[in-house]
Structure 1
Amino acid sequence: MLKKWYIICLIFLFIPIISIFLKIFYFDYEISDVIPDKGYKLVLEIISHTDSPKSINISTFAPINNLKQRVLQEEGFSDAFNFRLQKEDNNRVMSWTADRIIGENKMRYTVKLKARAIKYVFLPDTPIDANYPPIMNKYLESSEMIQTRSEAIQKKAQKLTKNKHTLYDKIKAIHNFVIKKIKYVNFSGGLDAESTLQILEASCNGKSRLYVAMVRGLGVPARLVGGIILNRSPKKVTHQWVEIYLQGNWVPFCPTNNYFAELPNRYITLYYGDQVLFKYKSKIQLDYSYSFEKITIPKTGLSNKFKDLPINIFAIMENFEKFNISLNIFIYLLMLPLAAVILVILRNVFGLETFGTFLPILIASVLGGTGVTLGILLFFAIIFLVYLGNLLLSKLEILYHPKMAILLSLVIAVMITVFYFGLLGKNYDVISLVFFPVAIMAITINRVTIIMEEDGVKRLFVMTFNTILVILISYYFINSIFLQLMMLSFPELISFFIGLNILIGRWSGFRLTEFIRFRGFFMRQQYDR
């Protein structure tokens, strides 16, 4: 019997080793092939309200396709409005129209896009092009809000660029002036370039307009760019920055957040030019918000490249995307066998007892939605509520199953209350607790009650600490980028984990916690020998 389990274990351990060897040396397999792209799912929600019947036309901008970002999938929806998306100049304009509409109505636009950071090498000897194509003339002109020919702006630009002999040094001088000398103030309305220079403070709009006016004064085309920075969700604040035409490329500069010839991937372009974000003629009340989440996007075309592989992971990934299923779900599924091995080691080797066998892994898998701190606090709060509930209900001598139903109802009622006050206070961190599945709460309530009745309160506190520790360890293993890439590249590692579990399953020695507990006995026994 010993030889039989030993052989089975070796088979499971060596299958992935052989498979990985063949992939690398026979199929020219590289880990870089499997690394998915990072993207965003961006949602714009608009609410309009009218007290009397009106014909309404609301328009705004959809994300643009350019070198920095690419729209993969998009959809506009409303029960009451007709949705339309069309190209106007260099922008993509979406509009919602309806006739004789009254009351509150909702519109929604959802887009999946791939975005990347971009950085240009701005060489110090870059010359000013003397022969720009005619299409660039409009980016050299003065306008009502960008007063390129303003005497004050021209004098200031000349002073800043005096003794600067290269285009790089001139633009750098203007950039540093707008960054350091124009104080950022969150104005509700936008300032023009001349006013910004006069009062030396502005929002991103005023800073960018002054920047563009000064650069155009050098004889270099420049334009405003509007968009959104995906740094927190949801948000209503959009952003403006600058692009300068250099050596045949529109090069980005942000005079608000000090990006020089570069932008991070969280900058999403919505429009070019000095635009108003929303346009509508009727007198209506309009509210809007942007929300987003990070998504994983599989690379395309790799399923054919590796079609001869016994397990074509790329075909599976592409089908997830095809059926509009988040690739993150597939990644989490691959990570669960690894998390299970970690749990087995912590329980069987270290001797950490937890609530349920796989409950810590289930909780760890949802912490990405709630956040680590809030998720752990919620888990602890559930245990505390169940503890108090059991103390109160024990006096009523209620049967087990009705008691479970009452405790579950109590926890749900408290969560709904917290969720409600989170909505009122617009505390979106608290609102994210809705990601905590009811099934996990039910299992937790069941296990806590059994431990309280059979082992007492002291045992409950010890197991609570152990469970939280295992949850945190599992969470960081599940969310390790390196380990996720290894599992995506070599899913056959699941076989290795099965073999490892067989080895641990045959373990008959003391656990670490048992050794610590009985260390005095072991030391006396060794001394007697």
Structure 2
Amino acid sequence: MRKNQIISLVLLSISGLLLFTVFQKNKAINQSKPSFAADQTYRVSFNYYLEDFDSQDQVNWYLPQNSSRQQIDSLNFPTALIPKKDAYGTRLRWIAHGETQYKQLQTSFVFKGKAYQHQIPENFKTDTESATQYLVSTPLIQTDAPEIIALADQISEANSSDLLRITAAFDRVVQIPSAPIITKTDALTALSRNYASCNGKSRLFVALARAMGYPARLSGGLILENAQKRTSHVWTELKIDGQWIPFDTLNGHFGYLPANYLAIHHGDRAMLSHSPGMSFDYNYSMKQVEVLKFLEHPTATLSSFSPLGLFRLLESGVLNTTALYLILMLPLGGLLVAFLRNVVGLKTFGVFLPVLIAYALFETGFGLGILLFTGLILFVGLASRPFQRLGLLHTPKLVISLTLMVVFMLAGTAAGLYFDIPWLRSLTVFPTIILTLSAEKFSNLIVEDGLADASRMLFQTLLAVSCCYLLFQQQLIFEWLVVFPEFLMLIIVIAILLGRYIGFRLVEIVRFNPLLK
């Protein structure tokens, strides 16, 4: 009785501590929950380096602004500069004014973006407000050029609705081969050369849209990724029923921008410019910030709530999301397998082996992964049976199984590459050691209990793997464990209760049900 009291006290203490810490942290999180639900978050820095400049040399660059699909936080720039709005966006201008002959200018901010797919109507309402500004011809967007007009008329005559005309013009520009041209390319040149970069293709699409009577403009910014680069990006926007809709003819985005597109300015103007003759260099530094989507918080924000959180590991890069996912889900998967063994009554290849196999299935998909795993286990298990008759010790037999596994995987991968079969090329993603141990267990079971019993245990192991795979697909559970790692203590509580279970297993109830009646 005293033992039961001690166990009950331990369980109550762990549960009380768990509830207290979760309550305190959840309260802090709810009080600071942001209103903007971002799909991706990046830390971005514009770095400009100047040398040997004259007293009146200047640098101009545009700053990103908030919109319905992006939010800019923690915006920092040189304190002496004052942002000014113009027709293209919000601009900063730095003028030398006799400063030293070396200068570094920097703008940094946190970008939160979300992807958005616009629903475009079949026919558009007439927009007289933009008739002059966004329909006229310019030196780089030659709307009135005969070649542009001829192509626009051809597209208009072949399509009966506004949506079909815009789609046909978009497809025509998308088909133009892309080329990494650094200099500006006008619309007519992009059409005649039949190759262009993002700025040439975007100008051509704007010219065609304007020639067909649709208000259009350029939009510029950056495609964010974990990198440091110098290239910006340009796309097109059409004003449809009073709303500016994005179209990226370089990457084929129709009425859509991905979450990592940072919009900075509008119109046919450079995002960055400087006085000629000065020594000038620059780069854009970007780093993605891990975001827990169900809380809509960047991990950097959550790290201030509690030292028990795992946000700093993600933020610092000590562990990436994949590694932390495996670490946190491993005990949860082990608890599930223990439940299946002790309560349900399944017989599996160990406790954590089904968990690791389930995790490996994420590389290939569930159906294909199960087939590959079963095929490999059966092949290696059956192929190693002749070596059992030689009376070899356990370790040499394990080496033989490992060698057979590696040979089979290499042969399958080579065949997949030669015959271009994707599922054969996927063989190498399986952890070789895990498969070897599974094959060794299967081979030993065949010798000890026969092929029928070994096959039944393999089937039950696959059932446990399937349950673990379904558990691992619940991203919400992983994010809760990142925010509330205290729940790992709950696993200990459940494991203690599970360890004291001495009742019937479910398969035994089914098996002996006639006798029990």
With the shorter chain as reference, the TM-score category is: 0.5 to 0.7
Q: 478-487 or 213-222, which moves further after superposition? A: 213-222
The alpha-carbon deviation at position 12 of structure 1 amounts to: 2.7
SS at match of 1:253: strand
**Map of 1:91-240 to 2, 5 A cutoff?**
116-119=114-117, 127-129=128-130, 132=133, 137=138, 140-142=141-143, 150-156=148-154, 173-179=161-167, 211-217=205-211, 218=213, 220-222=215-217
Given that residues 120 and 262 in structure 1 are in contact (C-alpha distance below 8 angstroms), is that contact kept between their aligned partners in structure 2? Answer: yes
Change (3 A) 1:388 1:227: farther
1:338-368 superposed Cα distances (whole Å, 9 cap, x missing partner) = 2222112111110111111210001112222
Q: Tell whether the 8 Å contact from 2:149 to 2:208 is kept in structure 1 after alignment.
A: no
User: What is the 5 A alignment of 1:493-508?
Assistant: 493-508=487-502
TM-score normalized with structure 1 length: 0.61
Q: Quote the offset at 1:137 in angstroms.
A: 3.6
Partner of 2:310: 313
Once the 2 structures are TM-superposed, how far is the Cα of residue 398 of structure 1 from its aligned partner? 3.5
Deviation digits for residues 209-245 of structure 1 (CA, Å, limit 9, x no counterpart):
87544312137344599999x9xxxxxxxxx974447
Secondary structure at 1:450 match in 2: helix
Q: 2:485 matched to which residue of 1? A: 491
Task: State how far apart, in whole Å, the 1-side matches of 2:424 and 2:395 are.
Answer: 30
SS at the partner of 1:416?
helix
How far 1:381 sits from its partner (Å)?
Answer: 1.6
Are 2:173 and 2:204, in contact at CA under 8 Å, matched by a contact in 1? no
Mapped to 2, the partners of 1:363 and 1:446 lie a distance apart of 15
8 Å contact from structure 2 (residues 41, 290) kept in 1 = yes
Distance 1:12 1:427, change over 3 A: farther
Equivalent-residue separation in structure 2 for 1:367 and 1:333 (angstroms): 16
1:463-502 per-residue CA deviation (whole Å, 9 max, x = no partner) reads 1111111111111211212222222222111111110111
The alpha-carbon deviation at position 422 of structure 1 amounts to 2.2
Partner residue, 1:15: 17
Q: Residue 5 of structure 2 is aligned with which of 3, 6, 9?
A: 3
The structural deviation recorded for 1:333 is: 1.6
Deviation per residue, 1:273-301 (Å, 9 max, x gap): 9xxxxxxxxxxxxxxxxxxxx99557253
Taking a change above 3 Å as real, the CA distance of residues 177 and 249 of structure 1, as seen in their structure-2 partners, is closer
How far residue 337 of structure 1 moved from its aligned partner, in angstroms, is 2.2
Structure 2 match to 1:332: 326
Contact 1:178-1:255 at 8 Å conserved across structures: no
AA aligned opposite 2:474: S
Whichever residue aligns with residue 346 of structure 2, its letter is L
Q: Is the 8 A contact 1:215 1:222 kept in 2?
A: no
Q: For 1:350, which of 341, 344, 352 is the aligned residue? A: 344
The separation in 1 between residues aligned to 2:442 and 2:335, in whole angstroms, is 24
Unaligned runs of 5+ in 2: 43-63, 72-110, 179-185, 192-197, 226-233, 268-287, 293-297
Deviations 1:171-230 (A, max 9, x none): xx443235379989997958x999xx9xxxxxx9999887544312137344599999x9
The gaps in structure 1 that reach 5 residues or longer are 41-64, 71-112, 163-172, 198-203, 231-239, 274-293, 524-529
CA contact (8 A) 1:140 1:222 kept: no
Contact 2:381 2:443 in 1 (8 A): yes
**Which residue is 1:474 aligned to?**
468
Q: Distance in 1 between matches of 2:162 and 2:204?
A: 9
Instruction: Report the AA paired with residue 412 of structure 1.
Output: V
Shift of 1:255: 8.1
Is the Cα–Cα contact under 8 Å of residues 159 and 165 in structure 2 kept in the other structure?
no
Deviations 1:28-80 (A, max 9, x none): 467879x995589xxxxxxxxxxxxxxxxxxxxxxxx998799xxxxxxxxxx
* Displacement of 1:159: 5.9
Residues of 1 paired with 2:382 and 2:155: CA distance?
70
Q: 1:377 to 1:6 in 2, by over 3 A?
A: same
State how far apart, in whole Å, the 1-side matches of 2:390 and 2:348 are.
29
SS at match of 1:252: strand
Cα 1:226–1:153, aligned 2, differ >3 Å: closer, same or farther? farther
Q: Residue in 2 aligned with 1:362? A: 356
Alpha-carbon separation, structure 2, partners of 1:371 and 1:408: 24
Residue 373 of structure 1 and its aligned partner are, at CA, apart by: 2.6
Secondary structure (helix, strand or coil) at the match of 2:247 reads: strand
Q: 1:416 aligns with which of 374, 397, 410?
A: 410
Matches of 2:320 and 2:142, distance apart in 1 = 46
- 1:403 maps to which of 397, 401, 413: 397
The CA deviation at 1:434 is 2.0
| Residue 503 of structure 1, CA deviation | 0.6
Q: Tell me the SS of whatever aligns to 1:402.
A: helix
Structure 1 match to 2:377: 383
CA deviation map 1:286-340 (0-9, x unaligned): xxxxxxxx9955725315632xx24133223212x2x4x4222112322222222
Q: Secondary structure at the match of 1:301?
A: helix
What is the match of residue 98 of structure 1? Answer: none
Cα 1:301–1:124 change in 2 (3 A) is farther
Aligned position for 1:279: none
CA distance in 2, matches of 1:66, 1:121: 24
Q: Which residue identity is paired with 1:12? A: I
Residues 430 and 345 (structure 1), Cα distance of their counterparts in 2 relative to 1, 3 Å cut:
same
Contact map agreement 2:137 2:207 (CA 8 A) in 1: no
> Residue 52 of structure 1 corresponds to which residue in structure 2?
none
The answer to whether the 8 A contact 1:15-1:496 is kept is no
Determine if contact 2:70/2:113 at 8 Å carries over to the other structure: yes
Alpha carbons 1:139, 1:221 under 8 Å: kept: no
C-alpha contact (below 8 Å) 2:38/2:112 kept by paired residues: no
Give the partner amino acid of 1:11: S
The CA deviation string for residues 85-112 of structure 1, in whole angstroms up to 9 with x for no partner, is xxxxxxxxxxxxxxxxxxxxxxxxxxxx
**1:351/1:396 CA distance change after superposition, 3 Å:** same
State the 1:445 CA deviation: 2.4
TM-score (norm 2): 0.63
Q: CA separation in 2, counterparts of 1:411 and 1:336?
A: 25
- Which residue type is aligned with residue 318 of structure 1? E
Which has the larger displacement, 346-355 or 421-430? Answer: 421-430
Mapping 1:255-266, distance limit 5 Å: 261-265=255-259
